[in-house]
Amino acid sequence: MSFLIAQSLINGIILGTLYLMMAIGFTLVFGVMRVVNFAHGEFYMIGAFMALIGVTWLGLPYAVTLALTVGLAVLLGALTERLVFRPFRSDELSGMIASLGLAMILQNGALLFFGPDPQAFPSMVSGVFRWGALIVPKSRALTLGVGVVILIGFYFLLMHTRFGRGLRALVQDQQVATLYGVRLELMYPLGLGLGVALAAVAGGLMAPLFGVSPFIGATPLLKAFIVVILGGLGSIPGAALAAILLGLIESFVSSFISASAADIVTFALVVGVLLLRPSGILGRGEA
């Protein structure tokens, strides 16, 4: 029993790290641009394909591929802001519809280019770590380790740089932020680029574990929605708390009952939290 608890704890932390990367990118874009980005799952899918191309087509080391994925994703996000979202900046509903159209374009573009069949991703590391009866595959440990390093880097960027202070000011109050000199023309594309990069690198990290296909973005997008709703729209600390909570609940319920029961518990939790706190665990009233 103690082995199963420890294994569930580790799996839950890995899942929570993935959900956190997706949800932070999602809530960052909403907080900065006030856009519900339905294409966020497709950016996860694109990141997975970027990693696949880098490793299998170009023969690049996995670490180099992930670094390139981050850079290309930031550029993709900035272009998306300029070409898709900027014309609808003052119209949140039109921006949301534009993101739906973008999601369809990206998914069908991947279908045309790569086909509908799932593609295997070569294993980056083999073997397992053993602590007594506890066994952790090195591939999952690598995913967790890289994910934690990226999240720490994101935290440093957000909390200890001028750029991060500008993003946080926009999330809190855009009018006041502009009065203090925050440049919207610069922060919008960079904010979306950072959100896209978090989704893309999450896709690149999870590709060796679950493979790649044009449809893999749907589930991470749904989980990001759940995490953001639980944590509170626009609240990054709330997203962090909800992501870890969701990952642990799914892992423990799946291990001790079933995967179907995990979905039931998850959505029951969402309904319960919204009944008690309509704005989420750490959300603000206006969100």
Mean pLDDT of successive 10-residue stretches along the chain, which has 287 residues: 76 85 84 85 95 94 93 94 87 88 95 91 82 78 86 87 86 80 86 92 89 91 85 76 87 85 84 82 59
Task: Give the pLDDT score at 102.
Answer: 94
Q: Is 206 helix (H, G, I), strand (E, B) or coil?
A: helix
Report the candidate in 216, 79, 205 with the shortest Cα–Cα distance to residue 144.
Answer: 205
d(CA 16, CA 249): 10
Q: Is 235 helix (H, G, I), strand (E, B) or coil?
A: coil
Instruction: Please state the pTM of the whole predicted model.
Output: 0.88
Enumerate the domain spans of the chain: 1-217
Task: Give the pLDDT score at 23.
Answer: 85
d(CA 210, CA 156): 29
Task: Give the pLDDT score at 1.
Answer: 61
d(CA 36, CA 283): 16
Which tokens sit at 197?
């990069």
Q: Is 34 helix (H, G, I), strand (E, B) or coil?
A: coil
Asked whether the beta carbons of 286 and 171 are under 8 A apart, the reply is no
Letter string b/e over residues 59-95, b meaning 16 or more CB atoms within 10 A of that residue's CB: ebebeebbebbbebbbebbbebbeebbeebeeeeeeb
Asked whether the beta carbons of 250 and 266 are under 8 A apart, the reply is yes
Task: Give the pLDDT score at 235.
Answer: 73
